[in-house]
Structure 1
Amino acid sequence: MYVTPTRVREERDWIANRANTVVPLVNDVRADLGDAFGTDVDAITESQYREEVDTVFADGDLAVNVAAMVAILRELDVEGDYPGFVVDELLGRELAATIAGPQPLRTLGEATFHYADLRVHGDEDENAGVDDCEAALAAGFQERLPGWNWTERESPFALER
């Protein structure tokens, strides 16, 4: 695979155009996790998602890595699918973490990927990595976007300088 600025733009467009699939998945995951943790988590809109996609791709170093992982997942298929289970999980988890950002969001993105991945099942005519890609996008972007109460307050563990 050869990644150029044109390819990065194409992958960004593909990601943005998946809003109709990714945004409902984000909102379902947020609702379920909110229930599990006894908190309300705001839903996101397609507009928020697309804006955040643009934010990710405005950082060139981040953009090229996200684009490359998305491109790999979109092309990934393994005869019989199951033998490729580990590689698409590995790439999906890393994509979610990369999008989510620094710790602790990175680890939360990885963990959320596995939860989101249970909810996504690709079409028979799609490569095996596409559903993992969608789960990773949902997990990563849901960590970046506002709506979790704990991310919108000052940490009680911050020490004064």
Structure 2
Amino acid sequence: MARKTDLYLFVFPSDYKSLRKELPSMRLTREAVRAEYEWVRDRGSDVVPIVNTVRADLGEAFGTTVDPIGIGQYDDAVDAVFADGDRAVNVAALVGLLRDLDVPGDYPGFVVDELLARELAAMIAGEQPLRLLAEATFHYADVYTHGDADDPAGLDDLDAALAAGVQTRLPGWEWQATDSPFDIDGR
């Protein structure tokens, strides 16, 4: 059976350098990562209520009680994420992209802001299975975030990602309070 092969032709304007000047630049330095860290920490008063709403709703849906969090726990989670330099630089990049991402009319950019935000939530949460849980929780948290008309399109997704990642990373769920029954060493 013959395979159809698509040929993609990328055409760059002859004056590519002038186009590049119009695009924002993202340079990730140690100082830039610190600035994103501080911005994320300062966002706690917006993110913590989303975390607690999501925890209460999911707890009710799953027939359990999930502990709410406070600003101190949010700050501790952000500190832990940014203490890992390799994770911090990637989180900082995603935060910076989402905070400034805007698409006229929003809908055409719907996929890219969802994709970036879902990955940010997963990165904040940690390793598997928490990554996957954070990705799923992002979509739930996103229902509760709506920016103002003049906000960039990615800002509400950024808040939902922060909420989903932190919510998943922090304890408070009953299943997190006990040892796994699947630990082969019985620890």
Same fold (TM over 0.5): yes
Alignment of 1:3-152 (within 5 A): 3-152=28-177
Letter in structure 2 aligned against 1:128? A
Cα deviation code 1:63-120 (max 9, x no counterpart): 0000000000011000111000000000010000011111110000000000000110
Tell me how many residue pairs correspond in the alignment: 161
Letter in 2 for 1:27: N
Work out which structure has the larger RCO, using CA pairs closer than 8 Å and 6 or more positions apart in sequence.
Answer: 1
Deviation of 1:126 (Å): 1.0
Q: How much identity, in percent, do the aligned residues show? A: 65
Aligned equivalents of 1:90 and 1:17: distance in 2? 24
Shift of 1:160: 2.4
Equivalent position amino acid for 1:78 in 2: V
Which one has the bigger helix percentage? 1
- TM-score norm. by structure 1 comes to 0.98
CA distance in 2, matches of 1:135, 1:84: 16
Larger Rg: 2
Name structure 1 gaps, 5 residues minimum: none
Distance across 2 between alignment mates of 1:131 and 1:6: 25
Regions of 4+ moved over 3 Å: none
The corresponding residue for 2:12 is none
